[in-house]
Structure 1
Amino acid sequence: MEAYGAAGTLVAIGAGPKSLAVAAKARVLADLGLPAPRVVVIDKHGVGGNWLPLGGWTDGRHRLGTSPEKDLGFPYRGAPHRTHAAQINAGMLEYSWMAFLVAHQTYTEWIDRGRPNPHHNVWARYLEWAAARSGVDVRIGTAETVRLTDDGWNVAYRRADGTVETVDGDGLLVTGPGSSDEPLLDDPRVLSVSKFWHAVSRREIPASSRAAVIGGGETAASALDELVRHEVMSISVISPAPTIYTRGESYFENSVFSDPTGWPSLPAAERRDVIRRTDRGVFSVSVQENLLADDRINHLRGRVTRARRVGDSVHLALCNPDCTAVEHAFDLVIDATGGRPLWFLDLLDAETLDELELAIGAAPDLRNLENAIGHDLAVTGLPQPLYLPNLAGFAQGPGFPNLSCLGELSNRVLRSAVDRSSVDRSAVDRRSGRVSAPAGVR
């Protein structure tokens, strides 16, 4: 147990699967007597909030798009300390989906029912169970300010009672999609993701003759899967793709997500093509099967460039390359384009933003940050690690932004934390004249 915190403190914003995968593996390392960082997680809603109605991204009753067997330890290959990989992976089995089911005496039933993907609220219960088992320090509050310091990171967060507290860490892990309450137009006929699910929970979805769902990913898929259960005469799915793609689930596609070893060697155009075809702007197979026979659904290609209220309708301007924008009228619009990938930049103070721009050598926009993510899933060039797995898909592998390789994600983050802490301790020892061997990770 004394090894817990031996590699400093890692602060994580967002108490979802990524943070909990890192926290669980850090506990396993510590229990084996290996150096591991202390993990402190900050989240507005607590563990698994985005998989519950209170998070604003779901009503909790729709099914997970990924197999739950891709759990906190998957793919159970490699480890932060390579000579202890077998012991570490065995320890992570104690945090597996199967262990959760066995602990709740539902494993046999799940097998007999054909291993179905769980509902979102059940996945949240799994995350809560894993968090309690790991003993991770979870702080309930909204992160408000993030500041890079000489020694690491300082995060200020506001608790429900209005008080502001701070936590310092040697590294910062940012996860989550940001807010789900930002519609493209402030109008009662245009619903953000959170307003849509709030209306669903209160049974206040209005009858509609022509509805639109903007977005082609899983956020839009869940909203569409719910909307078809209500009184709507026609539903248009609006996305820039030429059709609504189904997420690839063959061995060849899945293996790229599970094992990103050769990913960085692929040409940039091929990497973006794989992500476009298999991850971004695609519906899961189960949702596609549910919608297949519903003749109310159609697809409109284009990007929404303008939204305006005209009488009782909302007019959306759709733009396609080399084409004149065309307006379509709807009486109900759900903006399900998903979260803002750069939402966390709003938390950084001016000096930290300057440091980030200096580190990547360009303005911190989406493309530049994606290109700056290193093997450890942190932004290269910063003096203190800022881990951004949600932006690591292009540079390091398509599984890091989602649930496809949480075990490899935790390996890279923790290996980096331990390596950095060993270097820091060695530097201190040299300055003090002491001679000590840094804790190895090989």
Structure 2
Amino acid sequence: MDRLLVVGAGPKAMAVAAKAHVLRELGLPAPRVTIVESHAVGGNWLPSGGWTDGRHRLGTSPEKDVGFPYHSSWARGHNRAINEAMMAFSWTAFLVERGGYAEWVDRGRPSPHHHVWAKYLQWVARKSGVEVVLGTVRTIAAAAKGWEVAVVDADGVASALGSDALMITGPGNSARALAEHPKMLSIAEFWNLIGRRELPSISRAAVIGGGETAGSAMDELVRHDALTVSVISPAATIYTRGESYFENSLYSDPGKWRALSVDERRDVVRRTDRGVFSVRVQENLLGDSRVHHLQGRVVRVGGLGEGIELTLRNERRPDQTHAFDLVVDATGGQPLWFLDLFDADAADLVELAIGGPIDKDRLEASIGHDLAVTGMEAKLFLPNLAGLAQGPGFPNLSCLGELSDRVLAEATMRSSAVRGGATQRAEYLR
């Protein structure tokens, strides 16, 4: 793998870019990393990305930065140097350079606002010297030696980028809503109104979704003058993300993950990551008597004068209909959003590798140790789908340093074997 193309300039891309830079600085082989991003580095943490207004706080500790957990173990004789060099890209190094480290410690190490986290990611990009191409990916095609990605920039100029390997990150389109209705907003429309301070007066608001995207929207709505703010999700209640050592250790160190059964893994993810609010958001909502939870799946959206009606379905009770002045669809990203970009030949290659039509279950089960789809000659890294097979921290910010190790280790070892033979390659392995 001489060239790695990454779609999306978020934390995962920056972790790989920083690690590749460190490897080159240490004289170790690493691929050339090129990142394609439609907005800006860290764009999903800025208002322009459509997932936030930039003023809400990060749901995890910023110390889980692009190098965390700093325990590279695959390059014998070089691991300590890799870990130490990655500290130059840490959150604390960022604060020290900006002169804000002491204040951050004195204030109790708070999670930063989203726009500050974006500045950290932009700092990593500059420090690593990674190539960032600003543009929107239109198609992904299979090529003779890897992938060819068609990109269109802001001026409408098209270009084609070739690579040996491809890594896809990000949640997809934030402008999608459950239904077309003037009183139902996508998460992008919601944050756009918040940013312009144009959210209309509302008495009954609702947010659909039980994850962190919904949590941020709820956290914002309770700052307004609504009489009631309801969160709608199929779960029995709104759960708080597990934040004890026992849960966190599974995210930071996925080594224990392989010993769990598939059912046990799904249970961990369900209890600690999917459909949960962060502790901070949950604490903000608990003391507000306007906040309610409505259990069910939305099966119908209808008009009601100047408002909107949602019909909720639960397995063990009759359908219920509720009226609102405003509804925000905060169900989050679509895990397979990128498949719309694949041409027929590229989709065929994926289908052959996973043994059937492409769906989420097959793709999740196919993700190997390197976070790529197993059985494909041209590597397709899908860390957002690696949670079930490889560890719950890979789809989020919990083990970015381990993620970069997994993606880059095989390329480094392969290159070492070509240059120095099997003996030198063995030196990289414990």
TM-score computed with the length of structure 1 as normaliser: 0.94
Cα pair 1:46 1:139 within 8 Å, conserved: no
Is 1:160 the counterpart of 2:138? The answer is: no
Given the alignment of the two structures, is residue 144 of structure 1 paired with residue 138 of structure 2, yes or no?
A: yes
- Corresponding letter in the other structure for 2:200: P
Q: How does 1:256-267 map to 2 (within 5 A)?
A: 256-267=250-261
Q: Does 1:305 align with 2:299?
A: yes
Q: CA deviation at 1:421?
A: 4.5
Percent of aligned positions that are identical: 60
CA spacing shift, 1:174–1:80, aligned 2, 3 Å = farther
Match in the other structure for 2:355: 361
Q: Secondary structure at the match of 1:81?
A: coil
What amino acid sits opposite 1:174 in the alignment? I
Deviations 1:406-442 (A, max 9, x none): 000000000122245557x48xxxxxxxx95586232
Residue of structure 1 equivalent to 2:12? 18
**Among 177, 187, 196, the residue aligned to 1:183:** 177
Distance in 1, Cα, partners of 2:152 & 2:303: 36
1: distance between equivalents of 2:412 and 2:146? 14
The more displaced of 72-81 and 282-291 is 72-81
Does the alignment pair 1:373 with 2:396?
no
Give the deviation of 1:22 after TM superposition: 0.3
How far apart, CA to CA, are the structure 2 residues paired with 1:437 and 1:389? 29
Say which SS state the counterpart of residue 344 (structure 1) adopts.
helix
| C-alpha distance in 2 between matches for 1:439 and 1:160 | 46
CA contact (8 A) 2:44 2:52 kept: yes
In structure 2, which of residues 273, 282, 291 is the aligned counterpart of residue 288 of structure 1? 282
Where does residue 134 of structure 1 map in the other structure? 128
Q: Does 1:408 align with 2:364?
A: no
Task: Find the counterpart in structure 2 of residue 56 from structure 1.
Answer: 50
State the AA in 2 paired with 1:406. Answer: L
CA contact (8 A) 1:317 1:325 kept: yes
* Aligned 8 A contact 1:40 1:139 in 2: yes
Structure 1 runs of 4+ with >6 Å offset: none
Q: How does 1:109-258 map to 2 (within 5 A)?
A: 109-258=103-252
Secondary structure, in 3 states, of the residue corresponding to 1:83?
A: coil
Instruction: Single out whichever of 412-421 and 342-351 deviates more from structure 2.
Output: 412-421
CA distance in 2, matches of 1:312, 1:420: 63
Deviations 1:327-351 (A, max 9, x none): 2221100000001110000110011
Corresponding position of 1:334: 328
Post-superposition offset of 1:147: 1.1
Partner SS state of residue 302, structure 2: strand
**Matched residue pairs, number?**
427
Q: Distance in 2 between matches of 1:284 and 1:388?
A: 25
- The residue type paired with residue 177 of structure 1 is P
User: Which residue identity does 1:264 align to in structure 2?
Assistant: R
In the alignment, the residues of structure 2 paired with residue 310 and residue 75 of structure 1 have an alpha-carbon distance, to the nearest angstrom, of 52
Post-superposition Cα deviations, 1:64-91, rounded to whole Å, max 9, x if no partner, equal 0000000000000124523311000000
Matched letter for residue 307 of structure 1 = V
Deviations 1:195-252 (A, max 9, x none): 0000001111111121110011110011110011112110110011111101011000
Structure 1 residue ranges without an equivalent (≥5): 1-6, 427-434
Q: Indicate the RMSD between aligned Cα atoms, in angstroms.
A: 1.4
In structure 2, the residue matched to 1:429 is: none
For 1:276 and 1:406, the matched residues in 2 are separated by 21
Q: For residues 33-52 of structure 1, what are the structure 2 equivalents within 5 Å? A: 33-52=27-46
Which amino acid is the alignment partner of residue 243 of structure 2? E
Q: Distance in 2 between matches of 1:422 and 1:151?
A: 20
Matched, 1:83 2:83: no
Report the TM-score when normalising by structure 2: 0.97
- Equivalent position SS for 1:36: coil
Residues 10, 54 of structure 1: CA spacing in aligned structure 2 closer, same or farther, 3 A cutoff? same
Match of 1:104 among 94, 98, 109: 98
Aligned partner of 1:325 among 292, 297, 319: 319
Aligned pair partner of 1:315 in 263, 286, 309: 309
**Quick one: distance in 2 between partners of 1:279 and 1:331?**
30
Amino acid at match of 1:199: L
Rounded to whole Å, the distance in 2 between the matches of 1:210 and 1:284 is 24
User: How far apart are 1:318 and its partner, in Å?
Assistant: 1.3
Residues 240 and 104 of structure 1: is their aligned pair in 2 closer, same or farther, counting only changes over 3 Å?
Answer: same
CA contact (8 A) 2:7 2:168 kept: yes
| Contact kept? 1:62, 1:120, Cα under 8 Å | yes
> What one-letter code is carried by the residue in structure 2 that aligns with 1:63?
R
Distance across 2 between alignment mates of 1:85 and 1:306: 55
Using the alignment, how far apart are the partners of 1:325 and 1:164 within structure 2? 49
The Cα of 1:364 is off from its aligned counterpart by 1.1
Whole-angstrom distance in 2 between the partners of 1:353 and 1:325: 39
Please tell me whether the aligned partners of residues 80 and 412 of structure 1 are also in contact (alpha carbons under 8 angstroms): no
What is the alpha-carbon distance in structure 2 between the residues aligned to residue 323 and residue 347 of structure 1? 40
Distance, in Å, in 1 between the alignment partners of 2:158 and 2:28 is 34
